[in-house]
Amino acid sequence: MKNIQVNATQFFELLKDRDTSMWEIFAQMIDGEEKRIIFVDDDEVILFNYILPDNLEKLEEDRKKFAAEYQEKLSGLN
C-alpha cells in the first residue's frame, strides 16, 4: 500500500479555495490501488490517517459512514 503524506492545513485550504469537498479530491485519486493518506500538521506530527479505497463504490460507503458519524457527533452537542 502506498503512503501519501498530506499537510492538513494546506489540504483544507485547497478545498476552501476550490470550493470542493474532500470526497471529490479523494475520488480523483482512485486508481485501483488502496492508499494510506497520512494527514500531518505543520510540524509533520501525524493527526490522522485515512485508507483511500481502490474503487468509487467503497469511497461512497466511507462518505456515507463519515456523514452519519459526523451528524451523530453534532447531535450530541445540542
pLDDT per residue over 8-66, tens digit each? 999 999 999 999 999 999 999 999 999 999 999 999 999 999 999 999 999 999 999 99
Q: Which residues contact 47 (CB under 8 A, 6 or more apart)?
A: 8, 39, 40, 41
Alpha-carbon gap, residue 10 to 6, rounded angstroms: 8
Task: Give the pLDDT score at 30.
Answer: 97
Domain spans in the chain, listed from the N-terminal domain onward: 2-77
* Pairing verdict, β 46-52 and 2-7: unpaired
Q: Is the pLDDT of residue 78 over 90?
A: no
pLDDT of residue 22: 95
Is 77 a residue whose pLDDT tops 80?
A: no
49 touches 39 (CB < 8 A)? yes
Is the pLDDT at 76 greater than 90? The verdict is no
| pTM for the structure as a whole | 0.84
